[in-house]
Amino acid sequence: MRHIIHADLDAFYATVEQLDNPELRGKPVLVGGRPESRGVVATASYEARPFGVRSAMPMRTAVRLCPQGIIVRPRFTRYREMSRQVMEVFREFTEVIEPLSLDEAYLDISGAVNESEGRWPLGVALDLKRRVKSQTGLTVSVGVSVSKSVSKIASDLDKPDGLVVVPPGDQADFLAPLAVGKLWGIGPKTAERLKAEGVDTIGALAEQPPEWFERMFGQRANSVRLRSIGLDDEPVNTERITKSVSSETTFPDDLGDPEELRRVLEELAGGVAGSLERKGLQGRTVTVKLRLADFTTFTRQSTLPSPSNEPGPIQELAWRLFSAELTTGRTFRLLGVGVSNFAEPDEIRQLPLSIEGDFRAYGTGLGWPERAPQA
């Protein structure tokens, strides 16, 4: 029998700041940009949340709701470092890990559970929480069940420092009273549509006939119906086919200085090149992702003459793509660099590269994952 953990670090960015700076402990911390520069909240500490502050809220709104909040600029290098430490703790329990973001992952702990020796899912989860706390100082909320979707819902029900275990066979009863919007794959718009049909809870959803699911969800009908009763056999994915390698950063404050933007761009491109080299990949297509101060988001891409994982050509082409978008008064909220269209192993050649020649820019890129920093 499978046993799946969904682990979610509590108020990750804010907690890291409180760990590193004892003066912030017990105080409302707002990690993000400055309110006067149209910054947004990346994460709010649990001391700030009773005031109504939440992630992705404009910082000026957060300050109005919580005037005593202490604004701290994000340090993503530090957060990545702490995330790696947590993942190392997870590997003490299993190698079957699917990271979702810096602060969130699925773990298949089936191999760590041995009921005949007293190693129950609850005990494994408690041990995991204890080790994360003792080795990193962070708290993690954990949901445990036989499926990914139920475990994810469970981990969110008792935050912070939560632990919810759903015994095998109890999935449907566990889900039934919960709001339908908590079900994996039911977004706010779908939840409103279901509410208009008189379906407010997951239990009410599960009671609908198959033809109703067909009408409401089309091709997704069967998967939604099964998840509504807690049946989900999707595996914890440790390996995925790499179609692109990318890196992006969201600025605490809108940025318009060309020299600073170029520095960030070259750092991102250099990091992507390093990742390509470590993975043994060489790519042809370079893409830059841009988000303006008004949240308009678009990409620009072009192709190298030959596949590469060298920093120089990737940085040079990325800058040429980006510099074409620099205009007076334009400021940027997010910047990213990606490489895709990988060469097959037998195509890879060590050739000197130049980006002189054919140059194309497109309005759509390489299917960049839209994941804003959250914790």
CB atoms within 10 A of CB 179: 12
Do residues 149 and 225 touch, judged by C-beta distance below 8 A? no
Helix (H) or strand (E) holding 82: helix 76-90
For tokens 């003066």, the residue is 23
CA distances (Å), origin 38, targets 41, 251, 261, 331: 10, 11, 18, 11
Which candidate, 127, 153, 120, 158, places its Cα nearest to that of 141? 158
Would you name the residues annotated as active-site residues? 104
Q: Which two tokens stand for residue 136?
A: 């990193």
Torsion of CA 311, 314, 316, 321, to 10 degrees: -150
CB atoms within 10 A of CB 251: 22
Helix (H) or strand (E) holding 254: strand 244-255
**Sheet with 163-165, side-by-side order of all strands:** 97-101, 104-108, 4-9, 140-145, 163-165
For tokens 């510099």, the residue is 323
Rounded to whole angstroms, the Cα distance separating 257 from 261 reads: 6
* 299 contacts: CB under 8 Å, gap ≥ 6: 287, 288, 289, 290, 362, 363, 364, 365, 366, 368
Alpha helices in 255-358 (DSSP H): 258-279, 311-323
Do residues 164 and 155 touch, judged by C-beta distance below 8 A? yes
Give the SS3 label for residue 141: strand
